[in-house]
A and B are shown apart, each in its own frame.
Chain A
């Protein structure tokens, strides 16, 4: 039986177990949308902006541990998707974005709603395709799923001209994928594992530095096993939060620009740094020559180009984090040289040192009785959700406070735009997260600036009847930039004062959602409790201390030991 390209497209999504896609129709995609209406296996979530569709698919994939799928039309649909694609690329999120394209014959003609989206997204996708021949459509989609989720995951874009979607084809048989040029290394080199284990045996001041790779490869249990067996303190990147239990005594929280004092001090003074699925980003390392200057460095990463990119690595292990940690754990399990008691003894002075740092400068803030502190809101959210909610964020101060004060214990519990830093990520991401986990509490922690970047998604929430909660930490500023202006630009608050802002309660109500507001600390808990009870989308507008800053802070370009403290 012959199928049209559009029918084959949907059949191929079904073949890959896709149940939910996020998208927005347009002229080039009418054939697909026509088929979608008849399809009862794939649920299409109509977002109100293509950027939101991609962020939602991104978070859907993160929470479910699957490949998210977005579908947008040609031209502006495709260009609107670009930010979402770039964000997924920088965070290595498995995602496929399908774009409509003008008919093959018109390509290159500056036709209506035509852009060279394959050209535009070349540097922000793991790979991308223009389907020129309808018979290639299904093999390309299969290859794209394979690429998106294997190796170092990432977004793949498939551009589908209108005529390809209308052409009748014979649906090709499913064959195992074999790509001549793409064979990621999953298994660690035993010699490197041996070297790494020997280094761990010797180390007196070890630190584990865990990144998003731990979550992507589902290696959280293996990481926890290693840290506990060898009694190694763990610090995480923004993307790594949840990869190790945040409330574990060995957890030092996040490191880097807004990391904890003790995590940064531990990294600066350690003799062995075990980097797992992390990429030595500038927000983590600060001044590069002062980053872990005394340490031997082990780096486990599936992407060889991540190794020794920013920091010289002594023991590289190119492998899937899970497999590498497994091999390391197995080594220690059978090692005769390893003695758990002696290990505890050996590390004791190091833990005491870290404890001292922790006591000297714990993570904290000055509490006040008459004005809401943003950190207090996040602590309350943590408390009232039992630390079990799925949290998404926008980008800015609220994002860093969330990373500091919502102690994530599980992987896939936190979705944030880490690498690209997209304001407007969190709300659509919450939609994706809620679609992926309908029974979970999903909260977007937002700022009053960033929530306005995709506020139209209230309509999507309502249409899908999603009980997404949004906690707006409202200080009337673009707070993170304002903080930099305060510290480094003579308090010239250029364009960071939100002189005009909507009444967020009324905005929510206008969409048929619920709006709540708290202006005093005593109102915070009742508002959260109320919001959690409501089976509807809720905006919680927390009017917070206007000039509260995020601390500690490592000024850009400084060593991570040169922190500004509260």
Chain B
């Protein structure tokens, strides 16, 4: 089963490689990875998506905890949370398809962020499944390039 794990880290050189080295060294897999600074300057948040049986996930969280530079590990699947990914899609946009692409982008609440004579760059955010849906629909029109971010996630506010 897929798990999104959120890891708060000391923002120091080499910390990311401690995490990725742990995964490769112990044979855990990483499906996606995203890391950036948090509100605190010396703390980064790393979000990774991995999959495995419960025993593997338990080991992953324990081993992550063991890294000296790791502050906090949260398995997002244990919490009500929101997850997002972003994709930039360069899609063919010639005279007869330009309107169609715009319409699709609009339906998915995406944005066109670069306009070329024969293509658009489309920005879509959402869950992995939504991104996949957009890609599937745009594919027949002609996707030239895709760049996707890793997943980022946040727990929802507690309902009082």
Q: Report yes or no: B65 in contact with A304, Cβ–Cβ below 8 A.
A: yes
Output the nearest chain B residue to A143 by Cβ-Cβ distance: B68
Are A182 and B21 also in contact (CB < 8 A) when A305-B59, A305-B63, A308-B58 are? no
Q: Report yes or no: B66 in contact with A123, Cβ–Cβ below 8 A.
A: no
Which residues of chain B come closer than 8 Å to A127, judged between CB atoms? 68
Report if B17 contacts A (CB, 8 A): yes
Which residues of chain B come closer than 8 Å to A309, judged between CB atoms? 59
Report if B71 contacts A (CB, 8 A): yes
Q: How far is the CB of A180 from chain B (nearest CB, A)?
A: 7
Report if B2 contacts A (CB, 8 A): no
Q: How far is the CB of B71 from chain A (nearest CB, A)?
A: 5
Q: Report yes or no: B10 in contact with A181, Cβ–Cβ below 8 A.
A: yes
Measured CA separation A119–B20 after assembly (Å)? 12
Q: Report yes or no: A308 in contact with B17, Cβ–Cβ below 8 A.
A: no
Q: Report yes or no: A181 in contact with B58, Cβ–Cβ below 8 A.
A: no
Q: Which of A118, A126, A130, A182 has the most CB of B within 10 A?
A: A182
Measured CA separation A546–B25 after assembly (Å)? 39
Question: Which B58-81 residues have C-beta < 8 A from chain A?
Answer: 58-59, 62-63, 65-66, 68-71
Query: What sequence of 0s and 1s flags, for each residue 41-68 of chain B, a beta carbon within 8 Å of any chain A beta carbon?
Result: 0000000000000010011001101101
Report if A348 contacts B (CB, 8 A): no
Q: Report yes or no: A305 in contact with B65, Cβ–Cβ below 8 A.
A: yes
Report if B116 contacts A (CB, 8 A): no
Question: Which A118-145 residues have C-beta < 8 A from chain B?
Answer: 118-119, 122-123, 126-127, 130
Q: How far is the CB of B23 from chain A (nearest CB, A)?
A: 11
Q: How far is the CB of A132 from chain B (nearest CB, A)?
A: 8
Report if A314 contacts B (CB, 8 A): no
Measured CA separation A333–B66 after assembly (Å)? 35
Which residues of chain B come closer than 8 Å to A118, judged between CB atoms? 14
Indicate the size class of the contact surface on chain B.
10 to 19
Q: How far is the CB of B70 from chain A (nearest CB, A)?
A: 6
Q: Given A122, A303, A305, A308, which contacts B18 in the complex, CB threshold below 8 Å?
A: A122
Q: Report yes or no: B62 in contact with A305, Cβ–Cβ below 8 A.
A: yes
Which residues of chain A come closer than 8 Å to B14, judged between CB atoms? 118-119, 122, 130
Report if A177 contacts B (CB, 8 A): no
Question: Which B14-33 residues have C-beta < 8 A from chain A?
Answer: 14, 17-18, 21-22, 25
Measured CA separation A182–B25 after assembly (Å)? 22
Output the nearest chain A residue to B8 by Cβ-Cβ distance: A181
Q: Report yes or no: A179 in contact with B58, Cβ–Cβ below 8 A.
A: no
Are A181 and B17 also in contact (CB < 8 A) when A305-B59, A305-B62 are? no
Which residues of chain A come closer than 8 Å to B17, judged between CB atoms? 119, 122
Measured CA separation A130–B71 after assembly (Å)? 20
Q: Given B10, B66, B71, which contacts A303 in the complex, CB threshold below 8 Å?
A: B66
Q: How far is the CB of B69 from chain A (nearest CB, A)?
A: 6
Output the nearest chain B residue to A127 by Cβ-Cβ distance: B68
Q: Given B21, B22, B59, B69, which contacts A181 in the complex, CB threshold below 8 Å?
A: B69
Q: Report yes or no: A308 in contact with B10, Cβ–Cβ below 8 A.
A: no
Report if A435 contacts B (CB, 8 A): no
Measured CA separation A180–B70 after assembly (Å)? 9
Report if A429 contacts B (CB, 8 A): no
Measured CA separation A119–B18 after assembly (Å)? 9
Q: Report yes or no: B68 in contact with A182, Cβ–Cβ below 8 A.
A: yes
Query: What sequence of 0s and 1s flags, for each residue 346-387 of chain A, a beta carbon within 8 Å of any chain B beta carbon?
Result: 000000000000000000000000000000000000000000
Are A181 and B70 also in contact (CB < 8 A) when A122-B18, A122-B21, A308-B58 are? yes
Q: Report yes or no: A126 in contact with B68, Cβ–Cβ below 8 A.
A: yes
Question: Which B62-111 residues have C-beta < 8 A from chain A?
Answer: 62-63, 65-66, 68-71
Q: Given B21, B62, B66, B71, which contacts A180 in the complex, CB threshold below 8 Å?
A: B71
Report if A255 contacts B (CB, 8 A): no
Measured CA separation A181–B71 after assembly (Å)? 5
Query: What sequence of 0s and 1s flags, for each residue 78-122 of chain A, a beta carbon within 8 Å of any chain B beta carbon?
Result: 000000000000000000000000000000000000000011001
Q: Which of B10, B25, B59, B66 has the most CB of A within 10 A?
A: B66
Question: Which A145-202 residues have C-beta < 8 A from chain B?
Answer: 147, 179-182
Q: How far is the CB of A565 from chain B (nearest CB, A)?
A: 34
Output the nearest chain B residue to A123 by Cβ-Cβ distance: B25
Output the nearest chain B residue to A181 by Cβ-Cβ distance: B71
Question: Which A434-464 residues have C-beta < 8 A from chain B?
Answer: none
Output the nearest chain A residue to B72 by Cβ-Cβ distance: A181
Which residues of chain A come closer than 8 Å to B63, judged between CB atoms? 305
Q: Given B21, B25, B68, which contacts A179 in the complex, CB threshold below 8 Å?
A: B68
Known interface pairs A122-B14, A181-B70, A305-B63; 8 further A-B residue pairs with C-beta atoms within 8 A, sorted by A's residue number: A119-B14, A122-B21, A127-B68, A181-B69, A304-B62, A304-B66, A305-B62, A309-B59
- Contacts from B to A (Cβ < 8 Å): 10, 14, 17-18, 21-22, 25, 55, 58-59, 62-63, 65-66, 68-71
- Contacts from A to B (Cβ < 8 Å): 118-119, 122-123, 126-127, 130, 147, 179-182, 303-305, 308-309
Sample (27) of A-B pairs whose CB atoms are under 8 Å apart: A118-B14, A119-B17, A122-B14, A122-B17, A123-B21, A123-B22, A123-B25, A126-B68, A127-B68, A130-B14, A147-B68, A179-B68, A180-B71, A181-B68, A181-B69, A181-B70, A181-B71, A182-B68, A303-B66, A304-B62, A304-B65, A305-B59, A305-B62, A305-B65, A308-B55, A308-B58, A309-B59
| A-B complex: 7 closest residue pairs judged by Cβ atoms | A305-B62, A127-B68, A123-B25, A181-B71, A304-B62, A305-B63, A122-B21
